[in-house]
Amino acid sequence: MTIETTNRMDATFQRLKAEGRAALIPFLTVGDPDQETTLAIIAEMEAAGADVLELGVPYSDPLADGPVIQRASERALRGRVNLRTCMETALKARQAGSKLPFILFTYYNPVLQMGLEPFFAELAAHEISGLIIPDLPVEESEEMRRRSREAGIGLVPLVAPTSHERIERIVKDASGFIYCVSSLGVTGERSSFFEGVEDFIASVRRSTDLPVAIGFGISSKEQVARFAGICDGVVVGSAIVRKVEEVIPLLEQPENRAAGLLQIREFVSQLRP
């Protein structure tokens, strides 16, 4: 049974489908280097043509992340950013005029500590459309799926090249979109993806009517273009976080801040297919 929603993320995917193009989904770590800058970066990304934004919640033990996002998490945690402040950042971005759908990327433990009931109440109140929890496989996510459905929030599952016969079960109760992991490994730029990535995407497509996006390791305009042809969305994470890391010295100087932000905007803008 499909639940009808007026979720901002679902609406975006429908519109893009009608326009015949794939969503560009940048990722950023909230609070890297600080929350105020995050708000400015969100605005730059929107101006650069992002379609959906993935907001990463910094975590002390990010198992699914490579060194670039680990470092970003450490920087953000030094500023005492937590799950609640990440949600507040989303709401502030909305209040500042952002029209983008926001997806929260968070490890499970912070959610568990907040409590599932307050967590879902806060998500709705903070205008967040979707959730990605990289360490919550389908076996452990039953209650989360039920609550997501009730709240009309997309719980986006990860499907890996090693998922094989698990794909059917994973996509069955999914909502929002399906996130295909491009390669074996953690997040981080890479020059090649696993052999058979096209077949893998095709097999995921056959098993679901939901939009299918791809991520993990996609860092260049060429790679985005390659996958935009066969997916409904392309996530770029570490490459953007690395760009943020590069321009932090600029962002920290009031006279160079605008130039630093412009570099981020240009980087995201040139990724667009």
- In sequence order, which residues have a C-beta less than 8 Å from that of residue 191 and are 6 or more positions away? none
Nearest to 244, CA basis, from 252, 233, 234, 235? 252
Kindly tell me which of 122 and 135 has the beta carbon lying closer to another protein.
135
Does 130 interact with another protein (rule: CB under 8 A)?
Answer: no
Separation between Cα atoms, residue 225 and residue 204, nearest integer Å: 19
Using the rule CB under 8 A, which residue among 50, 83, 90, 132 binds another protein?
A: 83
Does 139 interact with another protein (rule: CB under 8 A)?
Answer: yes
The number of beta carbons lying within 10 Å of the beta carbon of residue 168 is 13
Does 158 interact with another protein (rule: CB under 8 A)?
Answer: yes
Q: Under a CB-based contact definition with an 8 Å cutoff, are residues 87 and 126 in contact?
A: yes
Does 259 interact with another protein (rule: CB under 8 A)?
Answer: no
Does 171 interact with another protein (rule: CB under 8 A)?
Answer: no
**Surface-to-core class of residue 57, CB atoms within 10 Å of its CB (0-12 exposed, 13-18 middle, 19+ buried):** buried
Q: Which stretch binds another protein (CB under 8 A): 41-49, 63-71, 195-203, 265-273?
A: 63-71
Number of residues this chain uses to bind another protein (CB under 8 A) = 42
Q: Is 173 a catalytic residue?
A: no
Separation between Cα atoms, residue 239 and residue 262, nearest integer Å: 16
Strand 178-181: give its sheet, edge to edge.
154-155, 130-132, 102-105, 53-56, 23-29, 233-236, 212-215, 178-181, 158-159
Q: Is 34 a catalytic residue?
A: no
Say which of 54, 139, 142, 165 is annotated catalytic.
54
Q: Which stretch binds another protein (CB under 8 A): 3-11, 41-49, 80-88, 228-236?
A: 80-88
Does 184 interact with another protein (rule: CB under 8 A)?
Answer: yes
Kindly tell me which of 61 and 252 has the beta carbon lying closer to another protein.
61
Instruction: Return the C-alpha torsion angle 122, 85, 63, 33, nearest 10.
Output: 150
Binding site for another protein (CB under 8 A): 59-64, 66-67, 70, 74, 77, 82-84, 107-114, 134-137, 139-140, 157-164, 166, 170, 181, 184-186
Instruction: Give catalytic residue positions.
Output: 54, 65
